[in-house]
Amino acid sequence: MQDLLSTALRYEKNTLYILDQTLLPHEMKWLECSDVDAMVEVIQSLRTRGAPLIGIACSVLVAHLAEQGMDKPQLAHAIEVLRASRPTAVNLMNNLQEMSAALASENYHQQLVKTAEKLFFEDISLCQQMAENGAKLLKNCHNLLTHCNTGSLATVGMGTALSVIQQAYKNNENIHVYVDETRPLLQGGRLTAWELSELNIPNTIICDNMAASLMAKGQVDAILVGADRIAVNGDFANKIGTYNLAVLADYHDIPFYVVAPYTTIDVDCLSGENIPVEQRDGDEVRGVKGSFGQVLWSPEGAKVYNPAFDVTPAKLVTGWVLDTGVFEAEDIKAGKLVKH
Ligand code: MRU
């Protein structure tokens, strides 16, 4: 397989490396990831994360294992285990479905490599297309608000919602971004604030519960978020706290956009009720850990509710920004989301 280089994944000289995002922004540590167990560990611990990125990381690993000489049944088993590593982001299942189709062919070793390379380079252009489609919506916007991390740490390209923000900044330098810190794992405060600062895009971190007061003061012109799975009716799952923002946006009459590539659409999922939501370990809420160490601030063993995602109903979405264009509620009702 050829070398594949991105911000958070590198396939170089036949070795797959994953950037440990739990240590960012203070420490850059690359982990060699050469088997299924290692990949499942980095995905479940969120060392690597983001809907498009985990799908591509698993596809690259499967192609690598094929090159290492794994046979068909072993590769089928690897795909099955990787598919189950996280339940919500459908890019993982969609990408691995393409890898399974490649595995079904006679010359499956070459086809798996070809498919993984295709998925990698396709994601880069999908990000660019979302950026161009979405930036047109932000012509008169100054203050944007975003949630979680949707940039080059969550994809192999520029990102989803963050690609749109980057493009808007390129087109109109008067952009400033409020970054939800995104409790419990702080993907906003640690990763998005870092990415935006590296790009010289002005940004301000807020605690998640500060968004409402900013909106009430008229300080948010548009909200952009990513998605982990979009149902056919336009409902979508994204990082926990996204639904809060959608409700607030509706109340304050602020445009609320979801930005995702076609690989995030689940053509078999009719509505948000059918999206499986990952439940995570309570310790993530009882305290915090990262490059700065580990702290427990709650009573030990305190009862915790910790869903990783929530589901936002389509009726709260102003526009779905995909690589194929910008869709509105009527387009979704007409089934256009899946017709491309
Ligand atoms: O748990 P994470 O960090 O993988 O969650 C990521 C998100 O919720 C993103 O917003 C989503 O993957 C879409 S953007 C690439």
> Is 62 found in the same domain as 184?
no
- Residue ranges making up the domain that contains 212: 133-338
> Is 325 found in the same domain as 269?
yes
Does pLDDT of 340 surpass 60? no
114 is an annotated ligand-binding site residue:
no
pLDDT score for 97: 98
Closest CA to 167 of 47, 1, 321, 30: 321
Q: What is the 3 CA–ligand 1 centroid distance (Å)?
A: 25
> Is 146 found in the same domain as 122?
no
pLDDT score for 339: 61
> Is 282 found in the same domain as 138?
yes
Q: Whole-angstrom Cα distance, residue 66 to residue 150?
A: 30
**3-52 pLDDT per residue, tens:** 999 999 999 999 999 999 999 999 999 999 999 999 999 999 999 999 99
Q: Whole-angstrom Cα distance, residue 61 to residue 154?
A: 17
CB-CB contact of 31 with 41 (8 Å): no
Confidence grade of residue 54 (pLDDT, cut at 50, 70, 90): very high
Candidate of 152, 179, 192, 239 to mutate for ligand 1, largest count of ligand atoms within 8 Å of Cβ: 239
> Is 234 found in the same domain as 88?
no
CATH code (residue 185) = 3.40.50.10470
Catalytic residue of the set 228, 235, 266, 310: 228
Kindly report the average pLDDT of the chain as a whole number.
Answer: 97
Domain boundary among 127, 150, 166: 127
71 tagged catalytic: no
| Cα–Cα distance list, 8 to 152, 238, 322 (Å) | 7, 20, 23
CATH code (residue 95) = 1.20.120.420
> Residues lining ligand 1, judged by CB closer than 6 Å?
46, 49-52, 89, 148, 150, 154-155, 160, 187, 226-228, 238-239, 308
Longest dimension (CA), the chain: 62
Q: Which residue is listed with tokens 């009882």?
A: 286
**248-292 pLDDT per residue, tens:** 999 999 999 999 999 999 999 999 999 999 999 999 999 999 888
Q: Whole-angstrom Cα distance, residue 7 to residue 49?
A: 12
Q: What is the 49 CA–ligand 1 centroid distance (Å)?
A: 7
Give 122's strand partners: none
> Is 188 found in the same domain as 162?
yes
Q: What is the 227 CA–ligand 1 centroid distance (Å)?
A: 7
Q: In this structure, is the dihedral angle defined by the CA atoms of residues 332, 188, 88 and 80, taken in order, positive or negative?
A: positive
